[in-house]
Structure 1
Amino acid sequence: MEYITTNEILEAIHGELVLQGEETKHNNVCIDTRIIKERDIFIAIKGENFNANDYAAEASKKGASICIIDEMKFEKTEFNKKTTVIKVADTKKALLMLAKFYINKLNIKVIGITGSTGKTSTKDLIAAVLSAKFKVFKTLGNFNNEIGLPMMIFKLDKSYDVAVLEMGMSHFNEIHNLCEVANPDIAIITNIGMSHIENLKTRENILKAKMEITDFFSGDGVLIVNSDNDLLQDITSKYELVKTGIDSLADYTACNLKVLENKITFNIMDNGNLIETGMEVNIPGRHNILNSMLAVACGRVMDMSYKEIALGFKKLEVTSMRLNITKGKKFTIINDCYNASPDSMIAAIDVLCDTHGKAKIAVFGTMKELGDSAYDGHKQVGEYAKSKRIDLLITIGEFNDAYKEGFNDIDKCRSFETYNEAVSFLEKSLKKDDVVLVKASRYMKFEGVVKELENINDKEVIKK
């Protein structure tokens, strides 16, 4: 973290100085006293079930250089004399305001990524491509909301050329607020699907919310979109607009596609001209060609050559629990249990079908935030699994009946109420060289199912 003075912080967050401590170089910004380190700036955030103002004096005693609070719940004498205490009207707003001040101080190129699905994969791909030419920072995991994004910004320093920041939302104005902080120079929209339709009611409203990513563009801002998506195909923008795709008319189009078990290869048509440099990316799935094309376009906007882009793809480091394929001694596990929507379920089914093995088995749970479309969304996924001739569909959760209706094969669809029941059934049913896909929305914590399946593989190895 670059040095910022107490006066700069006071001005940035419109704070009131309660206690003057020592002026020092700060290590980091922290919102959790359990992991706070000496010379950290502590910001006391209120959550639904806690109030971090209760722990401000503890943060001071652990060595915090500055405590930013919106409630004074201690006597001044309880604070370390080295700690500066600043009071604000709202610490959540102060976190955003300080992050905005800090990133503006760095003079760094910012790329913002949003979309209904594929944000994290596209973030990883863009960061890999750009790393062939620039020093790149990318959002860790999916720290992409009004708490997570500023915490990522504070990890930046002047050594970075580019920050690739993921931006999530579930309501109007959330992307707007994130972009007021990060002020992206380049914005990426992966697609417009069904995620968060429970809150926003229509896909057109979801598009409107995602388009907030351009709200703070300057005159040279660039918007890059996947024009294979029906709602992005015909959008217009007063800023520079770059379209990518496979099947649509676009500025950059993928052709000569090969979707293999553990990688994708493709060529590029640049405004109708075939580019000789071929692209090879070590992740599965046709949908990841679309995500990769967004990275290609981003590289070109950043004046990278196609050879540099191809080299960048070889540096890819993917975020965990997203189509991670593990081949065990007995069977293969596809771990894609970080999140789920109808579009991402369909993409994962395609990867399951492309993975070498005997029986193809899907273990699916609930997809959240679909609102009135929830039953039909789960039914649609069941129908798609049936159309791809999945050998066995196992479902867990409140929409078992919707999956079953869509799959429409009572002999090849089994429903369970608990993980343990499903895993017990799988332990008896899985055979050598089978492939099992595990996927659900994050709140179902299906990584527990993956862990149990991995244990089954280990037990089988020991028996042999």
Structure 2
Amino acid sequence: MLLNQDFLLSALPKAKFYCSGAELAHQAAWTFYASGKEVSAFFDSRVVEQDGLFFALNGQTVDGHDFVAQSLKNGVAAIVVNRLDCLKGLEVSDRLIILVDDTTQALIDMAKAWRARLTCPVVGITGSIGKTSTKEILRSILVSAGIQAHLSSKNQNTLLSLCTNILGVKTSCQAVVLEVGIDRTGEMALKADILRPTIAIITTVSYSHIKYFGNLHNIGFEKRQIFKNLGGSGVGIIPGDLPMLDNVCYGHPTARFGFKTKNSVQARKVEVVSDENGQAFITFTLKWYGQKVPIKFNTIHRGMLNNALAASSVAYFLHVPIEALKEGLESYTAFENRFEQRKLKDFNGFVISDCYNANPESMKAAILAFDSIKTSATKIAVIGDMLELGSREVYWHRFIGKLLNKSSSVEKVVLVGDLVRYVAGMLPDEMILAKVDTWQEAEPILRMVLAKKQYFVLVKASLGIALYKLVDKLTK
């Protein structure tokens, strides 16, 4: 965003502005540090950048006003506060101080105001599974196409991070791509009103956060609210193989991706092959609005192929040439903790870390992909609880237990958490290496086993089980 008087007054007309100890009159010309510069917005003083804009938010457990001093130390250009006493005794100098009634609302209002000034395509990505992977595959494609884009970092998809990401878009940006996550009814409508995407995509609908939505129909309805502001000029993109989304009458242009021939973007002739070194990957023919191109995709995870099709669909509406699309797809490598392969640090073997999050569909996909890997190493699956499944949690954990029991190559299982006891109930005793409550308890057990021979380990659970910490201990 541009930190200038015109934008600030239009975004926050009721705010008071101070510099060098004096209030700035709205009608007068302002002079302050970094005036007219492009700046980024932050609400975490630990990551504030030089010349950033810091919002002192009032959280449930932490008050951002207690960290104003830290933000000044880090070199912020401006600070948004709801009281001035937090500045007492601090050297503010010529930094701009913005006084508002509600700092969170100010962040939202400024995000809306800056979004209204953007003229480039704005892409919103939502879905129960695959938001981050789709975005990162699209990042690879846009880099190959030479398109200067602003994409959210890692898995930033909350209301606050959505706002700061919008404010971080530069005037020279050619495309904006942001994730939009939800876990409560009504949340998507609020975020869609802030982001107002010109292109919006739903990767899929599954049982994530079903505890708070009740059923899949409600989840699908909430996800579709990302389309609410598209009108006749925007494009909504859906997985065409999913009847819950495909059978809806939309009031805007709609594109479809998937594996069936009816989709404008589809994968044909899908095969899992290996190179001369035994490295497995997927090959497929991408049908892309009448064009066809062979793709070598560096994963064997079928779910990642769905994400590649989703990203390819967005790329079409961003006018990416097919040559750049192919290059971007083929150069993509796994993102952190999304079926990411890492070498064990102190042992002979590898870990596949897929522990950012888990629901029944992503758990099934990970286990099937892991089972399909051809290796001479002994396979161990470290499985943790799938959270927020509501009244169906017992059923789905038993389902995963049955799936593991049918596996042709997984020899041992380590179970972490509480709900995995239902997984254990579906497994023979000799298959269960251990059942523990925390990743800290699992670590010494795994270390003792991994020291014996070569192993290939899958680690999969909901984020709340923190198995990514176990992966870090074993690989970093």
Q: 1:75 to 1:433 in 2, by over 3 A?
A: closer
Most deviating of 439-448 and 34-43 = 34-43
Deviations 1:96-134 (A, max 9, x none): 221222233232211110000111111111222233332
Q: 1:373 to 1:282 in 2, by over 3 A?
A: same
Q: Give the TM-score, by structure 1 length.
A: 0.89
1:310 counterpart = 2:323 = no
2:414 paired residue number:
394
Q: 1:47 to 1:318 in 2, by over 3 A?
A: farther
Partners of 1:39 and 1:121 in 2: CA distance: 31
Q: Give the TM-score, by structure 2 length.
A: 0.87
Q: 1:60 to 1:307 in 2, by over 3 A?
A: closer
State the AA in 2 paired with 1:322.
R
Task: Name the SS for the 2:3 alignment partner.
Answer: coil
State the Cα distance separating 1:381 from its structure 2 match.
1.6
Unmatched segments (≥5 aa) in structure 1: 456-464
1:446 counterpart = 2:458 = no
1:167 paired residue number:
180
Q: How does 1:382-461 map to 2 (within 5 A)?
A: 382-389=401-408, 390-405=410-425, 407-413=426-432, 414-430=434-450, 431-454=452-475
2:52 paired residue number:
40
Deviations 1:344-383 (A, max 9, x none): 1111112211323233221011122212222222222222
Partners of 1:177 and 1:131 in 2: CA distance: 31
Task: Name the SS for the 1:411 alignment partner.
Answer: helix
State the AA in 2 paired with 1:55.
F
State the AA in 1 paired with 2:138.
I
Partners of 1:143 and 1:46 in 2: CA distance: 20
Unmatched segments (≥5 aa) in structure 2: 21-30, 274-278
Paired residues of 1:26 and 1:65 also in contact (CA < 8 A): no
State the Cα distance separating 1:297 from its structure 2 match.
1.8
State the Cα distance separating 1:247 from its structure 2 match.
4.2
Paired residues of 1:10 and 1:86 also in contact (CA < 8 A): no
1:291 counterpart = 2:307 = yes
Partners of 2:403 and 2:299 in 1: CA distance: 22
Q: How does 1:44-59 map to 2 (within 5 A)?
A: 44-56=56-68, 59=71
Paired residues of 2:151 and 2:176 also in contact (CA < 8 A): yes
State the AA in 2 paired with 1:8.
F
Q: 1:179 to 1:79 in 2, by over 3 A?
A: farther
Paired residues of 1:61 and 1:79 also in contact (CA < 8 A): no
Q: 1:409 to 1:230 in 2, by over 3 A?
A: farther
State the AA in 1 paired with 2:319.
D
Identify which of 357, 381, 389 aligns with 1:370. Answer: 389
State the Cα distance separating 1:223 from its structure 2 match.
1.0
Paired residues of 1:233 and 1:248 also in contact (CA < 8 A): no
Q: 1:292 to 1:388 in 2, by over 3 A?
A: same
- Paired residue total: 451
Paired residues of 1:29 and 1:42 also in contact (CA < 8 A): yes
Task: Name the SS for the 1:153 alignment partner.
Answer: helix
Partners of 1:206 and 1:319 in 2: CA distance: 26
Paired residues of 2:230 and 2:236 also in contact (CA < 8 A): no
Partners of 1:420 and 1:32 in 2: CA distance: 29
State the AA in 1 paired with 2:366.
A
Task: Name the SS for the 1:391 alignment partner.
Answer: strand
Quote the sequence identity (%). Answer: 26
State the AA in 1 paired with 2:238.
V
Q: 1:75 to 1:126 in 2, by over 3 A?
A: closer
Q: How does 1:12-91 map to 2 (within 5 A)?
A: 12-21=11-20, 22-23=31-32, 24=35, 25=37, 27-56=39-68, 59-60=71-72, 63-74=75-86, 78=90, 80-91=92-103
State the Cα distance separating 1:43 from its structure 2 match.
0.9
2:27 paired residue number:
none
Paired residues of 2:266 and 2:286 also in contact (CA < 8 A): yes
Q: CA RMSD in A?
A: 2.4
